[in-house]
Amino acid sequence: MTEPEWHVEPGLTDYEEALAAMETRVAAIRDGGAPERIWLVEHPPVYTAGTSAVESDLVDAGRFPVFRTGRGGQYTYHGPGQRVGYVMLDLDRRGRDIRCFVDALEDWMIAALARFEVEAFKAEGRVGVWTRTPAGEAKIGAIGVRVRRWVSFHGFALNVAPDLSHFGGIVPCGLPDYPVTSLAALGIRATLADLDAALAATLPGFLARLAARQAAACR
């Protein structure tokens, strides 16, 4: 099976334009008119609401634009210094199991963070990727996916060096007891390009996990 197209978008990508581009690409993938794609972007500051978002978790509605999306999950923030990965894969070919797909995405993020000597992990009942800080467990990576006609879109967000105060306008992912962190907050000097390289290096492992889970039950 061929690897998906890999594209890193320069500069800041308007969120609405990104949604429209994903919609177009997902339809083309399903109809056989375009290859799968992994699209890495950086957005201007926005809050996005997933299908499970609770209105009371939008603490400051006037701070940044708010977009309602069809992805899974609750409220999250996107902004400069954060790498957003839109993962558009044909799960008809790679395995019709959304839980396994999300699990593999988390493993990919963890493997990429390990390149920076960050010990990240999954937490029972909490989607996303976590790490330990002096203040306790904190979220460093979020996941919110959508699947249409067995093509995935939306994806993940990893915090490299965003302004963490921007998360204060929401209850991130509906978890008020857990803060967010970033590579910069952990004392790691890294750029988005550094993270992109780590993601590219660990991409084959992610695709291999999907293939393995297509052949066997997700564990």
Q: Tell me the catalytic residues.
A: 173
d(CA 201, CA 186): 22
Residue owning tokens 């393995």: 212
Give the closest residue to 199 by CA, choosing from 82, 131, 109.
109
Give the burial class of 94: count Cβ atoms within 10 A of its Cβ; 0-12 exposed, 13-18 middle, 19 or more buried: buried
Chain Cα centroid distance, residue 26: 17
**For residue 165, what is the DSSP state?**
G
Terminal C-alpha separation, the chain: 23
Q: Name the β-bridge partners of 66.
A: 47
Q: Rounded distance, CA 26 to CA 173, Å?
A: 25
Contact 200, 111 (CB under 8 A): no
Distance CA 109, CA 87 (A): 12
Find, among 151, 206, 199, the residue nearest to 34 by Cα: 151
- What's the rounded Cα separation, in Å, for the pair 97 and 101? 6
